[in-house]
Homo-oligomer: A and B are copies of this chain.
Amino acid sequence: MTKQPRLADVARAAGVSTATASMALNDTGGTRIGSQTRDRVRAAAAELGYRPNTVARGLRTRRTQMIGFIGDDVATTPFAGQMIRGAHDAAREAGFLLLMVDTSGDHDETGEAIAALQERQIDGILLATMYHQVIEVPKAIGSTPHVLLDARTADGSSSAVVPDERGGTLSVLSELTGAGHVRIGHVTTREDVQARAIRLETWRERVTASGIDPDELLVEVDHATTPLGYEGAKRLLDRDDRPTAIFCFNDRMAMGVYRAAAELGLAIPADLSVVSYDDQDLIAPALSPGLTSAALPHYAMGQWAVKELLRRLDEPDAEPVQHHMPCPVSRRSSVAPR
């Protein structure tokens, strides 16, 4: 117990060379190792509690079994955890570990992060942003295999996975139309993110299709926060031709909508149905009544990204893939027939 045993110790204990020990433990070298020899080596390794030094192995094999995870702003968003967890689980299953770097969105810092990871000889990089962004891959990444997470390039030159915002929006809207709603309002943010653009456009299409002018039912505010959601909802609801249902950009805004409805004496869902996006754990099930919301599949995206990365490790020349991950709806009690 004084020192970690090395491969040489195992070899000595089994009475073979380190080459044989290595091959026996790793099942390499084809038929060169007899089965009783292999068992002897394995037994010796188990006996000594041998654990390979992956640093030494990595130096020789040029593989570290580590994946770099570069996150835009890991801390401040509650989604990051799920994304990391999904990536982590898929990685661990394949014997990989995640080496994390958080950049605060700073572009220089991203370059530095990439360099720091490359110095450590990671096998590949996951480039994650929060909130579905269209980015350029920093040239510092060179030929390091990589996959984009909740982000993509404009030209699709890197493998990437993003939520299927359009599908999610359609699903959650059909919760409303299925209940007979036609005048469906939308409370959203003015921030320039993909999520906003896609949700807005999809809603617009859908409402237009039922012969209604979307601009009458749209409210935009500066940020996707609860207080501004409240204000937006007030503007939308405090009039005679108010919508019978509201689709909110996200749960935080929906929380404000709930408050506005309460103040105006509108019961949810009897007087007003509400649906939303993000399905945040701290909000959607906590509101009363529970909020029907389309979930962002962060866990699944993290998983997918690692699997795709591992695939690219094996076939570096594979065509990049753009994946749209479905956004399942969590149905709760905020929708009632019109």
Contact = CB atoms under 8 A, between A and B. Distances in A.
Interface of A: 1, 51-56, 58-59, 64-66, 69, 74-78, 80-82, 84-85, 88-89, 92, 97-102, 115-121, 142, 225-227, 230, 252, 255-256, 259, 262, 280-283, 285-286, 288, 299
23 contacts: A52-B119, A65-B120, A69-B100, A74-B88, A75-B81, A75-B299, A76-B281, A77-B81, A78-B78, A78-B81, A78-B282, A80-B81, A88-B102, A92-B101, A97-B99, A97-B100, A97-B120, A99-B100, A226-B285, A226-B286, A230-B288, A255-B286, A282-B282
Contacts of A59: 53, 55-56, 59
A226 B285 CA distance: 9
Nearest to A69: B100
Please give the count of copies of this chain that the complex contains.
2
Nearest to A302: B75
A97 B102 contact: no
Given A119-B52, A121-B53, A84 B100 contact: yes
A82 B52 CA distance: 33
List the 4 shortest-distance A-B pairs measured between CB atoms, nearest first.
A75-B85, A226-B286, A75-B81, A78-B78
Nearest to A280: B282
A82 B75 contact: yes
B280 A119 contact: no
A64 B99 CA distance: 12
Nearest to A118: B51
Given A99-B98, A100-B98, A255-B286, A120 B85 contact: no
A74 B81 contact: yes
Contacts of A119: 51-54
A120 B74 contact: no
B64 A55 contact: yes
A227 B59 CA distance: 55
Contacts of A255: 286
A92 to B, nearest CB: 7
A146 B282 CA distance: 32
